[in-house]
Copies of this chain bind each other. A is one copy, B any other.
């Protein structure tokens, strides 16, 4: 008997949709409400996932079965909404940026602590499997030595939605939007040391809006490491999100989209890497999933339980065996083997 968790999503835009999709794939989750000031937007999302729709957070919070609220609204509204959710004793996930000032962040944290609810902030990339693997490697101090540099570059061609370019609704520009991830990734990769000093420069290139579309932030960490966050909304050619962690004996890089891999080097040896584990290497992550075992076995279970057709059938197996048989015959006889002959 699985306990089910009643959920409300506030904000029916793109990110609200992502959370609705992810959460409803978990059999423990019961998505009950979509809250959006624009009833049409809310209805669209609610309909897709079989939830109810409302234009007021109050109505969703009045539902006792709602124990968890996802806040996916424009940044400037995060603080009051999250405060209301916490005050109502509900657990909350607030999309990044959690809030726009340190004061508000501390207040929310204290309020959540006092009410005994979970306050989570959306910084999805520190959960990304590839970066989790890079983080694991970066923590191998025998392989990396003294880690002195960390760098995150996050560059896109800019947001699709207008409110991102307005200080009033978004709080800031590329630094608030992408810089959140860059700062969090840098700090996490180093093991969350304290931050000693920050230097930054920003620039607004676009005529639209009133916020910066690019920025560079240098972070001096208490352990002496230097962090670089390089974010841009003015980079064409597809999203770039790369992480570099450099130590005196080794380094780790991970490229989320363009190169799509993890590379690492060590003068010594990585503990948690298969083959090779010395010199330069390209370690895998989520091996079982990336190899297709999860998808394959799920198809079989679906076929058995629900009678769903599989994408690969016994006829396919016959074709492969037949080809391999012919290949062995060809290799043995030194000639081409015609099939069906």
Does A311 count as interface, using CB distance less than 8 angstroms?
Answer: yes
A257 close to B284 (CB less than 8 A): yes
By CB atoms of chain B within 10 A, which of A23, A256, A265, A301 has the most? A301
Report which of B113, B129, B328 forms a contact with A200, defined as CB distance below 8 A.
Answer: B328
Report which of B175, B224, B279 forms a contact with A281, defined as CB distance below 8 A.
Answer: B279
Does A18 count as interface, using CB distance less than 8 angstroms?
Answer: yes
A105 close to B297 (CB less than 8 A): no
A109 close to B2 (CB less than 8 A): no
A321 close to B102 (CB less than 8 A): yes
Number of copies of this protein chain within its complex: 4
A290 close to B129 (CB less than 8 A): yes
B234 close to A317 (CB less than 8 A): no
Task: State A196–B259 Cα separation when bound (angstroms).
Answer: 34
Does A37 count as interface, using CB distance less than 8 angstroms?
Answer: no
A199 close to B196 (CB less than 8 A): no
B324 close to A176 (CB less than 8 A): yes
Chain A 215-242, CB-CB to B under 8 Å as 1, else 0, gives 1111110001010101010111111000
Chain A 247-259, CB-CB to B under 8 Å as 1, else 0, gives 1111100001111
Least CB distance, A247 to chain B, in whole angstroms: 8
A179 close to B327 (CB less than 8 A): yes
Task: State A27–B26 Cα separation when bound (angstroms).
Answer: 10
Interface of chain A residues 240 through 285 with chain B (CB within 8 A) = 246-251, 256-262, 265-267, 274-276, 278-282, 284
Does A195 count as interface, using CB distance less than 8 angstroms?
Answer: yes
Report which of B224, B257, B312 forms a contact with A282, defined as CB distance below 8 A.
Answer: B257
Task: State A324–B216 Cα separation when bound (angstroms).
Answer: 11
Does A62 count as interface, using CB distance less than 8 angstroms?
Answer: no
A320 close to B123 (CB less than 8 A): yes
A293 close to B148 (CB less than 8 A): no
Task: State A195–B284 Cα separation when bound (angstroms).
Answer: 34
A201 close to B179 (CB less than 8 A): no
**A–B pairs, 6, beta carbons within 8 Å:** A113-B314, A196-B339, A197-B334, A200-B330, A217-B327, A236-B249
The list of the 10 closest CB pairs from A to B, nearest first, reads: A279-B279, A260-B261, A237-B265, A128-B292, A127-B292, A109-B314, A280-B280, A200-B327, A198-B326, A127-B295
